[in-house]
Homo-oligomer: A and B are copies of this chain.
Amino acid sequence: MATIHDIAKELNITASTVSRALNNHPRISEATKKAVLKVAKRLNYQPNHIAAALRNGRSNIIGIIVPTADRSFFGSVIRGIEEVAKRAHYNVMICQSHDDYESEVSTVEALLNARVDGIMASFAKNTENFDHFKKVHDKGIPLILFDRSFSGLDVSQVVIDDYLGAYQATEHLIQQGCRRIAHFTSVKKISIYKERLRGYKEALEAYNIPYRSELVLESYLQFEDGIEGLNRLLDLEEWPDAIFSASAYSAVAALAACKERGIAVPNQIAIVGFANEAFTSFCDPPMSTVDQQSMQIGTAAAEIFLEQITVGRDRFVPKRIVLTPELIIRKSSLKNPMKFSEK
C-alpha cells in the first residue's frame, strides 16, 4: 500500500510536504497540492488512520457498549449515534455486554486499549459497581451514559423521563376505568425501573387508588417472565384489570398468555408496555406502549460527545438530557374506542 513517502519520492519532495498538501495546509503552494493529489490518486493512496491516530492521540472512534445489539431499541440508538458521528468523521465500535457485569468490565478495558475517543454505554442489568466507568471518566475520556444510567457518576447522560412515561401510562389505564393495575418491574437498582415504578405509584396515588404490593412483580422482563407474571396475577383471589409492564417483551407475552386463556384484552385486562419495539404495533390487539425516542437518544448522545470534544475536557460540564417519552395508545388499553383516536 502506498504511503506519503511513496508519493514524496515520486515528486522529489519530502513526506512533510505531502502530508501538508493532503491536509490542505495554507503554506503549501497550489501547484504542489495538485501534483500531490494527482500522484496520490494514481498510486491509490489510502491514508493510514492508525498512524495518524498514534501520532495525534486521537483514533476518531467512538466506543458503544450495549447489552445486546439485536434489540430494536439499541439498534436504533446505535443508528442515531452513527448518523451523527459519521458527519464528524468518527466511526463507531460496537460491543455487547450481554447484560453481564464481568463482560462489561472487560469490554471497557478493550475500548480503552483501542484508544477510543469516547464511550457511550448502557449498563448491564447486574452492574452495581461503576469503577470501570469511573476509570474512563478519570482518564478524561468522554463518557456518555444512556437509558440505563447512574447518577452517582459525574458524567453526561441521555435518558427519557421514565417517571413521566410510567405516570402517563398508568394514568391512561386509570382513565380507562382500571382500578387494579398490576406492574411488571425489574431490578430496582436500575434507575429506569425505579423511576417507572415511581411513576406508577404516584399515578395511583394521584387518583386515590391504593398501592398493592401483590400486584407489582419483579423479574428480568423477558418473554417468559411475562407469562409467568400473568400466571401469578391470575392466581390472586382478585384478578387485576390492567397491566403496565416496564418492558415490551413481557407485555406482549402477557398479552399472548391472556389470549391463550381466553381473557379479553383490553376489556378484562388492559395492557400497556414500554419501548416501542416494532412488534408492539403488530400484535393483536396492537399494544399501547411508551415510546422511548430511541433514535433521538443516540443522536443526543453523539452530539454531547462532539460538544465535549470541541469545548475541551476542562471547560465541559456534564449534561443530563431528559427526553420526553410519548405514550402511544393502541387497542390493548383502549376500552372506549370512541374517545381516542387510534394511532
Bound CA–CA A71/B277 (angstroms): 10
Residue of B nearest to A76 (CB): B70
A253 to chain B, nearest CB (A): 9
Segment touching B, from A90-98, A214-222, A230-238? A90-98
Tell me whether B96 and A48 are in contact (CB under 8 A): no
Contact for A279 among B50, B96, B110, B283, CB less than 8 A: B283
CB <8 Å contact, A96 and B82 = yes
Q: How far is the CA of A74 from the CA of B114 in the complex (A)?
A: 24
Determine the distance from Cα of A111 to Cα of B277 in the docked complex, in whole angstroms: 30
Bound-state CA distance A124–B284 (Å) is 33
Contact of A93 among B92, B280, B285 (CB under 8 A): B92
Query: For residue A255, which residues in chain B have a CB less than 8 angstroms away from its CB?
Result: 282
Question: Which residue of chain B lies nearest to A52 when distances are taken between CB atoms in the complex?
Answer: B113
Contact indicator A69/B78 (Cβ below 8 Å)? yes
What number of copies of this chain does the assembly contain?
A: 2
- Which residues 46-99 of A have a CB within 8 angstroms of B? 46-51, 53-54, 59, 61, 68-72, 74-76, 78-79, 82-83, 86, 91-96
Residues of B near A263 (CB, < 8 A) are: none
CA of A133 to CA of B171 in the docked complex: distance in angstroms? 54
Minimum distance in angstroms from A25 CB to a CB of chain B: 19
Query: What 0/1 readout, one digit per residue, does chain A (31-50) give for beta carbons within 8 Å of chain B?
Result: 00000000000000011111
Chain B proximity of A297: nearest CB distance (Å): 12
The answer to whether B282 and A252 have CB atoms under 8 Å apart is yes
Compute how far the CA of A294 lies from the CA of B70 in the bound complex, rounded to whole angstroms: 10
Q: Contacts of A256 on B, CB cut-off 8 Å? A: 282
Answer whether residue A338 sits at the interface, using C-beta atoms and an 8 A cutoff.
no
Q: Mark A202-213, 1 if CB is under 8 A from B, else 0.
A: 000000000000
Q: How far is the CA of A75 from the CA of B1 in the complex (A)?
A: 33
